[in-house]
Amino acid sequence: MHSFLQILIGVDDFIAQLWKVHLEVEKEGYVQDLSLGLFRSDYMVHKDLNDPGADPTIKQVEFNTIASSFGGLSTKVSELHSYLHSIDAYPASSTSTIRPSSLPANPSIISLSAGLESAHTAYGPPKTSPKLPQCILFIVQSSENNIFDQLALSTHLQTHHRIPTFRLPFSSILAQTTVTPIAHRTLIYHPPHSPTSSYEVTLCYFRAGYSPSEYPSQESWTARLHLERSAAIKCPSILTHLAGSKKIQQELATPDSPHLASFLSHTKYAHMIDRIRSTFTAIYPLDSSAAGQTAIKLATDEVASENYVLKPQREGGGNNIYGTAIPAFLKSLGDDQRKWRSHILMELIRPPVLENTIFRNGECQSGEVVGELGVYGVCLWRNGAEDGGGRKAAVENDGEGVLENWEAGFLLRTKGRASQEGGVAAGFGCVDSPCLVDV
């Protein structure tokens, strides 16, 4: 991954700082070889406008490795739509379409919580002496607008798995946690509401820390390093966080890229390489490579750019530049190649349009809408034991080291056709649930 990120490290200060955290922990030595991922892979249906007879296809929008949100609310919305059907709230004209069998149950709260519980259990017994009670920490933003989505998971952990679960603002990490100075580097949480209590942290679940704005000072980076060097399992680890960058997606999806095959050709998933690759839309770097020069030509063309979106290495909605706005934006960057290389160019996905009504900000808005389906996944893996020389032994490509791996529910987001962004928290879309129909 270092070779993929090397370009970004030189042009993107945020990526460079994340990589620096990894290097500092690597120099000291990682004490936790388990990693947890609660991932979400987002897809849209694509219809080729240049070929009216072509069948619709599924295309990947992005793969989220940190703070993959709305697993809690998506279950609630699915339950809401099923409840409305049970009280005959839908118009009579919809009875042939909306049936109990067409409204699938969404297990995302149960499945994602089970993933967190699996990491908590895999951590093992307390390492402190005397032994402290154990807990899971949700690392959250200080001003959190999406608290109820997160509470759906933490409440399930408390009530169904009997695991103490606490919310820790990113800005309070250093004030409310300590790391033991012994070899285990155990992370200890000190609840501010109970100063005499202490808990050994088994898992840090990041719902914060993915945006540069969350690191206003060096103290913020010290806090991230503080957690990363500890023995608590991270969801995600700093390397998994980096693996979710747009650059990694671009390296896999650039036309004629060999990287996907290099990862999967010697595994039990080798037969799926072409099927997986078919979900990728063309993604290009903006650099001096042949693919990069092609991208620059497309991105600076007033006509060709209409079919593309320009994306920076950032999570959350509202950061992308679309279509014919791309040439002017790139012109505004001047000749600063660092800024150019910190973006990727992605072919636009053209979803078919539906008629529906969105309830947002207290108002019903009817009109043309499009949908985006996210599929959650849980993966718990062991990074590899140290060999005799103190180096991390590589995990075999056949999947050895993967302890848990399952699909964990879904998220459907619906937005107005005119909206180019799809983020719910950023104010562009709304949480929905699918209605299955025969085609």
Active site residues: 40, 62, 64, 69, 246, 311, 315-316, 413
CB neighbourhood size of 175 (10 A): 12
Instruction: Tell me the CA distances in angstroms from 170 to 137, 177, 230, one per residue in order.
Output: 11, 11, 16
Q: Residue 311's beta-bridge partner residues?
A: 344
Q: Is residue 259 within 8 Å of residue 265, measured between CB atoms?
A: no
Output phi, psi for 308, to 5 deg. -135, 165
Evaluate whether 165 touches 133 at the Cβ level (below 8 Å). Answer: no
Give CA–CA dist 338/325, Å, rounded. 20
Instruction: Give the separation between CA 180 and CA 197, rounded to whole angstroms.
Output: 16
Dihedral sign computed on CA atoms, order 280, 285, 286, 289: negative
Q: Output the furthest CA–CA distance in the chain (Å, rounded).
A: 71
What tokens does 428 get? 């562009």
What's at 427, amino acid-wise?
A: G
What is the C-alpha to C-alpha distance for residues 113 and 158, in angstroms, rounded to an integer? Answer: 10
For β-strands 57-64 and 402-416, DSSP reports them as unpaired
In 10 A of CB 44, how many CB atoms?
23
Q: How far is CA 418 from CA 37, 209, 305, 356, 370, in A?
A: 33, 30, 18, 14, 9
Q: Which stretches of 69-199 are DSSP H helices?
A: 71-86, 108-123, 147-160, 173-176
DSSP state of 299: H
